[in-house]
Amino acid sequence: MANHRISCPLVLALLLVFFYSSVVLSAAPVTYNVVSLGAKPDGKTDSTKAFVTAWTRACASANPATIYVPVGRFYLRGVIFNGPCRNNAVRVRIDGTLVAPSDYRVLGNGANWILFKHVNGVTVSGGTLDAKGTSLWACKSSGKSTCPSGATTLQFSNSNNIVVSGLTSLNSQMFHIAVNGCQNVKMQAVKVIASGDSPNTDGIHVQSSSGVTILNTKIGTGDDCISIGPGTTNLWIENVACGPGHGISIGSLGKDLKEDGVQNVTVKTVTFTGTQNGARIKSWGRPSNGFARNILFQHIVMVNVQNPVLIDQNYCPDNKDCPGQVSGVKISDVTYQDIHGTSATEVAVKLDCSSKNPCSRIRLENVKLTYKNQVAEASCVHAAGTSSGLVQPSGCL
């Protein structure tokens, strides 16, 4: 009788193949097409329910999941994508355009149009978010007191490991993109488009967040291209084109008496074109325990910028709640390195610091700014630091 023994190595190999194929199958990604779930690409039919269904299923999936938005225009009301999810790899891939309601009152009194909250490992790639904010801007410019504040187009709140890539934000009601209470966020190849006179339309706003990176991004809007709020640490901004807009601003800081500080911020390889400000730090002129330190502005080109280098610690809009007071925010270790180009005003470097908490360890290294083909001027008040290399305008520090 033949001996049908099977060798141990063969058994082991078969078991490994079975185990491996089971793991691969169990981790197979799934895709939810919003059109298959009822969304209509006509820009008019309310597709909110289909998007919510797609999110609910993707978030509940044990496997990596993709929500796919094909070519077309999809009408979307205000929506919250809540986590946490079963998996940490939900991708929202957009080939089309998401369209907000034309009536600004539908979203205008809400904080956000699209909100991701308590999520981990979400990627949003491609597509356009058309917030249709122009009618709200017109309402605000008319001076009517009944205009709502407006909604932020896209916000990530209390979330980690986020990627936003190749996204275009068009005509936001208020902020275009906001990152609040997040860790490890990467934004790349983002475009922000709004008119230079659109009110409060910050391009990207970051606050209470750590490890945010913004790369290869083009922003034209009516307020700060990038605004950096309290509690922001380890922020890296590189290869950004800004204009029109109000520049890249740290602040406003010091609005509250007790406030988290800003530290470890790098802004490099940025071109400002026709903006109100370039590299700006601003704080309210009133008491606060806030601070801004370890800030680097490097390899910056200014093209006809009104205030290329600005520290303003006497910010007091409409002269309310702060006249006669001084800023408590402490600004230190700020370096301006390889800054050159043209100023639209005579004073290209203005450091207007707090009399109670003077700016310290400010460094100007290889700064050359001109006004009408002449060396521009500098103005420094309550600021201490050093200059090195060629610095024009000189005599400030």
Instruction: Give the Cα separation of 382 and 395 in Å (integer).
Output: 14
Q: Considering the candidates 4, 246, 299, 340, report the single residue annotated as catalytic.
A: 246
User: In the chain, which ranges are continuous DSSP H helix?
Assistant: 8-26, 48-60, 105-108, 134-141
Instruction: Give the Cα separation of 86 and 84 in Å (integer).
Output: 7
Q: Could you give phi then psi for residue 221, rounded to 5 degrees? A: -160, -175
Active site residue 176: no
What does the block give as tokens for 182?
């997040």
DSSP SS3 for 224: coil
Tell me if 224 sits within 8 A of 248, measured CB to CB.
Answer: yes
- CA 18 from chain centre, in angstroms, equals 46
What does the block give as tokens for 81?
């994508």
DSSP SS3 for 139: helix
Hey, which residues does 277 pair with through a beta bridge? 307
* Nearest by Cα to 130 from 93, 164, 94, 172: 172
Active site residues: 246
